[in-house]
Structure formats: structure tokens, C-alpha cells
């Protein structure tokens, strides 16, 4: 890519819609917090942590990701984690972000739900005031655990309803279809949450149908496997369903062997509302700019395509029409 294009992407106003806050945990911060909390992990140096970041599939990654999250104990830890992410994306011209967090990863270790949510929320509040970044929080249920566990988590979250906009579904996809969670998602909708779900990352197109029909999702996380099913693609296009695609994640988790074979453009050509996101940036080799650079390079994306991708994210964000309009205006001015 030319230096000019590289720079153009870096300065382009962007929104991120698929980011796991625990996946933004940089090894240096992980190590500092482990020492502060006197928590022993299986890594004895920052280099050892980095060396472990070699994955063959989603489960390989998740094992390491849950290991790293063990060092998070206090409200301050969740604040520091979130604030570090917000500063990084500020430097990349991300003006809006929608953040997943996995409460069960923490509450199952005895960390109070309040510490998790307050730490994250305080950092988001600071970022809104000091950096001008708007945000939403989405609580994910871990799909390798039982639905009854997700139901307990939803109960725990109700006192903090004002801080959580939606619920999602993540962790090990194969063998844990969306149908397993249809009751808890119905309850979440009754409580006023919007719903999203990871589907079609490693799992089949059938899981995407289930996410649509049983979990009533407003956005589809990943959704790469939609391409296997023409009827599904028609449905997604007709509903203007946004897909939160994560190029570097797909590469690192071997969902694609080469970014040149990434389905992003094919999905766009089928009129799907595709967005670009980082997923777990500290584990997969980059934040928003690195994802945009990599996929632009691999597929030789045009400026028109970049505009569409960025605009899709603003349109698909869970914010007021006023904020959407404001962000799209910034994008339009940038391209003008
Ligand atoms: N948790 C964090 N990142 C994830 C991903 N890419 N898929 C499923 N669960 C996750
Ligand atoms: Zn994800």
C-alpha cells in the first residue's frame, strides 16, 4: 500500500463494534497488574506471554485469553485495562466503540460484578469527557457454560442495567449453538437489552439462522460462514443486518489461511452490511488501523469500499440518531 493510503486509513474516523475488553490486555499491563495483585500466572515474563500467542484455532486462543484475565481482581484493574484501550483507539481516530465484557470470567473467580462494571464504566466516562469517544457496553455470556449460569449472570447485571446496553454470546462456538441460550436471551430482551451473538466464526451457517430466529439479534458478530448459504445471505441483506468482521482475528485463529482469501469483499458484493473490527487486538496483532491496513492490502480495497465499511459501522452502532448523524458528517467531511 502507498504511504498515502496508509495515512488515509490511520486518520479516517472509525467506529469499532466488536472488541472484547479482556482481549485488549497488553502483556506489559498484564504483567504489571499480576505483580500488583501478587497473582502467579503460568507466564514468568512479558516475552513468555508473547510467545504463547500462536494459535491453531479459537479454543487455543481462548485457553490463553482466560489465563491472562485471571490477574484482574480489583476495580482499578478493570479501569486500567479499559483506559489503556481507550487511549490506544483515540490515537487511531476511533470515535465510537462498543465493548464486550465477559462477567463470568471474573465472577466465577469470586470478583464482584460491581468491581468489573464500575472499573470499566469509569474509564468509559473519562474517555467520553477527555477524549470525546462515545461508547456502549455489551455483556457476553460464555457459551461453553450452561444456560442456567447465563441466567444467574443476567440477574446479577440487572442492578447495573443503566450501564449495559446489550447482551451477546461468545467463547467456544462449536457444540454450543445459539439455541442453547434462547431462554436467557428472551429474558434479556424483556428487560430491554438489545442482543447480538458470535455466530459463523467456526460454526456453521445453521448457527447464524438460530441467532436470528431464536436470539433475535440486532447485529451478527463475525458471520463469515454466511457465504455458505445463499438464502441466509438474502435474509441478512434484506434485514440490513450488520456483520462485525474481524480480519486479523480470522487470520490468527485460522478461520482463513490467507487474508487474500478473506470473504469480506464477497460479503460486501452480496449487499451485506460489513464492518471491520479488531476482536482481541492484543492477541491478534493489532487494533483498528492494523485491521484496516491488513485487509486493504490483501484485497486492494478502494477508497469507496473504505468509505462504505466505515459508514456501515456508524450506521450499525447502538447510539442515538443524533450521534450517528454527527459521526457520519465527520466521515463525509473527511472524504470530501
Ligand atoms: N472471546 C473473545 N474473542 C472471541 C472470539 N473471537 N470468538 C469467540 N469468543 C471470543
Ligand atoms: Zn469476538
Pick the residue whose CA is nearest to atom 2 on ligand 1: 20
pLDDT for the residue numbered 43: 86
pLDDT for the residue numbered 130: 98
7 CB-contact burial (10 Å; exposed 0-12 / middle 13-18 / buried 19+)? exposed
Which of 170, 244, 253, 285 most suits a substitution to test ligand 1, by most atoms within 8 Å of the C-beta?
A: 170
Note if 201 is an active site residue: yes
pLDDT for the residue numbered 269: 98
- How far does residue 223's CA lie from ligand 2's centre (Å)? 11
pLDDT for the residue numbered 50: 86
Which pLDDT tens digit goes with each residue over 31-75? Answer: 999 999 999 988 888 898 888 898 999 999 999 999 999 999 999
- Contacts of residue 90, Cβ cutoff 8 Å, sequence gap at least 6: 127, 131, 133
Backbone angles phi, psi at 124, to 5 degrees: -70, -40
- Average per-residue pLDDT in the chain? 97
Q: Which atom of ligand 1 is nearest to the CA of 201?
A: 7
- Cell (9 digits) for 103: 462477567
Assess whether the C-beta atom of 221 lies below 6 angstroms from ligand 1.
no
Q: Which of 26, 98, 201, 210 is catalytic?
A: 201
Range 300-316 average pLDDT: 98
Range 208-227 average pLDDT: 98
151 CB-contact burial (10 Å; exposed 0-12 / middle 13-18 / buried 19+)? middle
Range 318-335 average pLDDT: 98
pLDDT for the residue numbered 264: 98
Q: Which atom of ligand 1 is nearest to the CA of 249?
A: 6
pLDDT for the residue numbered 22: 98
Asked whether 102 and 23 are in contact (CB, 8 A), the reply is no
Distances in Å between the Cα of 35 and the Cα atoms of 81, 105, 262 are 15, 20, 40
Assess whether the C-beta atom of 168 lies below 6 angstroms from ligand 1.
no
Q: Which atom of ligand 1 is nearest to the CA of 23?
A: 2
pLDDT band at 226 (very low <50, low <70, confident <90, very high): very high
pLDDT for the residue numbered 45: 87
- Cell (9 digits) for 165: 446496553
- Cell (9 digits) for 241: 443486518
- Contacts of residue 111, Cβ cutoff 8 Å, sequence gap at least 6: 72, 73
Which pLDDT tens digit goes with each residue over 82-141? Answer: 999 999 999 999 999 999 999 999 999 999 999 999 999 999 999 999 999 999 999 999
Which pLDDT tens digit goes with each residue over 231-266? Answer: 999 999 999 999 999 999 999 999 999 999 999 999
Which of 18, 19, 23 most suits a substitution to test ligand 1, by most atoms within 8 Å of the C-beta?
A: 23
Q: Which atom of ligand 1 is nearest to the CA of 173?
A: 8
For 3-335, which CATH class?
A: alpha beta
Pick the residue whose CA is nearest to atom 10 on ligand 1: 171
Range 188-196 average pLDDT: 98
Asked whether 334 and 301 are in contact (CB, 8 A), the reply is no
Amino acid at each position: 500500500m502507498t504511504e498515502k493510503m496508509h495515512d488515509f486509513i490511520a486518520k479516517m474516523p472509525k467506529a469499532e463494534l466488536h472488541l472484547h475488553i479482556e482481549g485488549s490486555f497488553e502483556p506489559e499491563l498484564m504483567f504489571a497488574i499480576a505483580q500488583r495483585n501478587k497473582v502467579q500466572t503460568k507466564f514468568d515474563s512479558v516475552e513468555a506471554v508473547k510467545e504463547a500467542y500462536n494459535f491453531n484455532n479459537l479454543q487455543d486462543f481462548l485457553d490463553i485469553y482466560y489465563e491472562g484475565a485471571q490477574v484482574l481482581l480489583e476495580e482499578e484493574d478493570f479501569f486500567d485495562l479499559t483506559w489503556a484501550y481507550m487511549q490506544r483507539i483515540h490515537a487511531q481516530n476511533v470515535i465510537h466503540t462498543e465493548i464486550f465484557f465477559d462477567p463470568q470470567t471474573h465472577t466465577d473467580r469470586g470478583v464482584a460484578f460491581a468491581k468489573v462494571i464500575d472499573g470499566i464504566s469509569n474509564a468509559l466516562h473519562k474517555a467520553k469527557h477527555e477524549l470525546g469517544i462515545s461508547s456502549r457496553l455489551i455483556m457476553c455470556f460464555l457459551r461453553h457454560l450452561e444456560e442456567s449460569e447465563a441466567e444467574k449472570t443476567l440477574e446479577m447485571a440487572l442492578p447495573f442495567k443503566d450501564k449495559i446496553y446489550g447482551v451477546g454470546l461468545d467463547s467456544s462456538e462449536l457444540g454450543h449453538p445459539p439455541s442453547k441460550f434462547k431462554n436467557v436471551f428472551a429474558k434479556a430482551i424483556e428487560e430491554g437489552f438489545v442482543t447480538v451473538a458470535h455466530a459463523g466464526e467456526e460454526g456453521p451457517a445453521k448457527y447464524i439462522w438460530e441467532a436470528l430466529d431464536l436470539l433475535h439479534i440486532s447485529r451478527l458478530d463475525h458471520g463469515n460462514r454466511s457465504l455458505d448459504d445463499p438464502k441466509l445471505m438474502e435474509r441478512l441483506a434484506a434485514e440490513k443486518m450488520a456483520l462485525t468482521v474481524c480480519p486479523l482475528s480470522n487470520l490468527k485463529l485460522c478461520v482463513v489461511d490467507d487474508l487474500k482469501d478473506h470473504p469480506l469483499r464477497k460479503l460486501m458484493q452480496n449487499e451485506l452490511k460489513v464492518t471491520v473490527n479488531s476482536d482481541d487486538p492484543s492477541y491478534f496483532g493489532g487494533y483498528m488501523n492494523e485491521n484496516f491496513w491488513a485487509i486493504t492490502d490483501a484485497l486492494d480495497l478502494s477508497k469507496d469500499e473504505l468509505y462504505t465499511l466505515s459508514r456501515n459501522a456508524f450506521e450499525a452502532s447502538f447510539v442515538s440518531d443524533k450521534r450517528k448523524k454527527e459521526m457520519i458528517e465527520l466521515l463525509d467531511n473527511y472524504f470530501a
